[in-house]
Homo-oligomer: A and B are copies of this chain.
Amino acid sequence: MAQKRVVLEEGILKSNDLLAQKVREDLRRRRILVTNLLSSPGAGKTALLEALAQNLGPQMAVIVGDVQTRRDAERLERHGIQAVQIVTGGTCHLEARMVLRALEELQGTPRYLFIENVGNLVCPAGFDLGEQQRWVLLSTPEGDDKPLKYPEAFLTSHVLVITKMDLVPHVPFDVDQAEAYARSLNPRLRIFHTSVITGEGLEALLAHLEHTYRSLFPDA
């Protein structure tokens, strides 16, 4: 049984990779930068996207994955940006086929497309959604040991965003330790410190997005 399950999951991953490739090529052709956001529940993915929306406006759009409810899409729409909600109904991660279906609903051509994955630090790491970059968010109240305990999310990401920096005085979180753990897994990880309360780090993240966009699409 275990053996059969492994073979089947390999099949699912392989067909996911093919669909992810299709997403990536399609969005590259349309010159849309796609970022896949991973984190635990409540680490601040939606709050960070709300803060970016205040600067990027309709240049950005979001595909939001949740096990249940349209709450996050509604939060984002209040900022005047497009948000397409995927309700997975129990599944603990998004898959490329869900993104492909969501893309049919996407209007126009935003410059930045964010995919807000299901809040989960384990399952989403194994699924390529066709993104050009992956961000993992780690909020300070979660503790600085999380990179070691959930390595795949940190291994497969390009950017680590440490969120809720405003809570550092109130929680046992050693920023240097967290960074050292994350870099021990993934030395090339770019790291940003942010707080949507104080605004810390948002300009640097926006500059990183702009820079990534220009390197991918130099003729745009």
Number of interface residues of A (CB under 8 A): 41
Is A146 an interface position by the 8 A CB rule? Answer: yes
**Stretch from A103-111, A115-123, A201-209, A212-220 forming part of the interface with B:** A115-123
Instruction: Report whether A68 and B142 are in contact in the complex, using a CB–CB cutoff of 8 Å.
Output: no
Copies in the complex: 2
* Known contacts A1-B12, A11-B1, A42-B142: A67-B171 contact under CB 8 Å: no
Near B by CB (< 8 A), chain A positions 143-191 give: 143, 145-146, 148-152, 164, 166-167, 170-171
Is A58 an interface position by the 8 A CB rule? Answer: no
Instruction: Report whether B121 and A123 are in contact in the complex, using a CB–CB cutoff of 8 Å.
Output: no
Please indicate which of the listed interface residues A15, A40, A118 has the most CB atoms of chain B within 10 Å of its own CB.
A40
Identify 9 residue pairs between A and B in the complex whose beta-carbon atoms are under 8 Å apart, listed by A's number: A5-B8, A40-B119, A40-B142, A42-B146, A67-B150, A69-B145, A71-B148, A92-B120, A120-B120
